[in-house]
Structure 1
């Protein structure tokens, strides 16, 4: 019987495009080594638009508290791939463009599967223990202002500031990467 553990890796950062790009590189490298990969993005685990925007389009607290369906991510991916889990995972819950639930079947996670999950707020206290390894992208306030799309800068920068204060993700991360310039990432000593 194959006893290789299933692992759950988070790529946590404020700029969704950056976390997705890095997670894709990691997932691709693992696949090249014949490691089974479960590639997941929090962007596909959003709550419905009516919930996310209940307090307005630019409310940072809504971004932090209401945008992502972390209970579903835990249930359908992280807890499902835990040693005592069901060993299947759901790739998507909601289409972010249409704001509709998607109908996809759970996929099997053979022994040795690595779930590579990207997104924001993955070191929150209600999520972080679902990961075996957390990579936190540390982005300065100035770089964050330049790197976020204009339509989400206000709400995301406020939510990210709250996250840094309340959850201290760098303290819980296994790796902290300075990511002001994605073409020149730097591993921070820790």
Structure 2
């Protein structure tokens, strides 16, 4: 079993190193934003990608779209529908204003990678960060190919898996997202994460 686990880690490292090399080859100069589009394993995938970018010697920053949500009204969880989740959960205006726009400006412009702590139901005190002139921002989470975010990302990785999220509301919202946004067809890369320890690139005519 130890041998199998070691092989899984080696395979995973090779995958992420290859993915990082492709991104750096295409977007190694200046600022670039990469989306990891998925509701299952997206944050883990994003962190692994940032680690691989670091191994490649390229500055990189991780952010999660789940740190840019709207505050909920009292009792909202009990009556939230999939439409509520899809239409009103994420604060894309703040996401652009404090993270995407200043990150793309480069130079000494400061940016914030998290704005709201959902578990504590409170805004996060802004921590302004900077990055080198050549840097890649990796953003993970669901719905990243929707119309409101068109033009935000230089490179989009769509995570494809049969595993469904535990939340029924999110699951239904994902069905709507898939039908409306067609994320598989607009992605730069499709990755099968059925086995998260062994992600596998899927090559399709649409990529």
After TM superposition, the score normalised by the length of structure 1 is 0.84
Residue of structure 2 equivalent to 1:75: 97
Offset of 1:4 from its aligned partner?
3.0
Query: Would you say the 8 A contact 1:13–1:138 is kept in 2?
Result: yes
Distance 2:109 2:181 in 1: 29
Query: Would you say the 8 A contact 2:46–2:138 is kept in 1?
Result: yes
Offset of 1:180 from its aligned partner?
2.4
Structure-2 change in CA distance of 1:165 and 1:85 (3 Å): farther
Residue of structure 2 equivalent to 1:61: 83
Residue of structure 2 equivalent to 1:139: 161
**1:158-177 superposed matches below 5 A:** 158-177=172-191
Specify which of 136, 139, 152 is matched with residue 114 of structure 1. 136
After TM superposition, the score normalised by the length of structure 2 is 0.77
Query: Would you say the 8 A contact 2:107–2:133 is kept in 1?
Result: no
Structure-2 change in CA distance of 1:178 and 1:26 (3 Å): same
Moved over 6 A (4+): none
Distance 1:136 1:128 in 2: 15
Residue of structure 2 equivalent to 1:183: 197
Offset of 1:138 from its aligned partner?
1.6
**1:81-100 superposed matches below 5 A:** 81-82=103-104, 87-100=109-122
Over aligned residue pairs, what C-alpha RMSD do you find? 2.3
Specify which of 171, 176, 181 is matched with residue 157 of structure 1. 171
Query: Would you say the 8 A contact 1:13–1:19 is kept in 2?
Result: yes
Structure 1 unpaired stretches of 5+: none
Question: Helix, strand or coil: the match of 1:158?
Answer: helix
Structure-2 change in CA distance of 1:84 and 1:91 (3 Å): closer
Structure 2 unpaired stretches of 5+: 1-27
Offset of 1:179 from its aligned partner?
2.2
Structure-2 change in CA distance of 1:52 and 1:162 (3 Å): farther
Q: Deviations over 1:134-164 (max 9, x none)?
A: 0011223xx21xxx23xx2x10110000000
Specify which of 42, 55, 64 is matched with residue 32 of structure 1. 55
Moved more, 168-177 or 86-95: 86-95
Distance 1:11 1:90 in 2: 18
